[in-house]
């Protein structure tokens, strides 16, 4: 549904890798926190920036999507997915009868 509506309004849908560490990556300096349990809702980076986990994740996902849109696929190293694509929606394979 999202894809046809985006085409309708002349927009692009960009799928960010599901394993992208959006909530653990500082949107200010880019440092990655090693571990962060789900009950941690706010955290402070070593650079001194205090983040709300969800707002920080939203900023990082927006930045990743804009980078893919500007630079093309492969902005972040992807894991190996059989038949997968890095920056596009992954279609299910149709088997011939």
> Across all residues in the chain, what is the average pLDDT?
80
Does a structural domain hold residue 92?
Answer: no
Does a structural domain hold residue 95?
Answer: no
Does a structural domain hold residue 10?
Answer: no
What global pTM score does this model have?
0.66
What's the rounded Cα separation, in Å, for the pair 65 and 13?
9
Does a structural domain hold residue 13?
Answer: no
Does a structural domain hold residue 37?
Answer: yes
11-27: pLDDT as tens digits: 888 888 889 999 999 99
Does a structural domain hold residue 51?
Answer: yes
Whether 40 shows a pLDDT value over 90: the answer reads yes
Instruction: Look at residues 42, 32, 28 and name the one whose alpha carbon lies nearest to residue 76.
Output: 32
Number of domains in the chain: 1
> 77 versus 4: which is more confidently predicted?
4
Q: What range does the domain containing 49 cover? A: 21-75
Does a structural domain hold residue 33?
Answer: yes
């Amino acid at each position: 549904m999202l894809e046809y509506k985006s085409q309708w309004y002349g927009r692009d849908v960009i799928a960010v890798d599901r394993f992208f560490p959006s909530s653990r990556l500082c949107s200010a300096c880019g440092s990655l926190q090693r571990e962060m349990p789900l009950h941690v809702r706010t955290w402070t980076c070593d650079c001194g920036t205090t983040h709300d986990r969800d707002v920080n994740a939203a900023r990082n996902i927006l930045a990743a999507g804009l980078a893919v849109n500007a630079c093309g696929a492969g902005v972040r190293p992807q894991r190996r997915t059989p038949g997968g694509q890095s920056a596009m929606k992954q279609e299910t394979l149709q088997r011939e009868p």
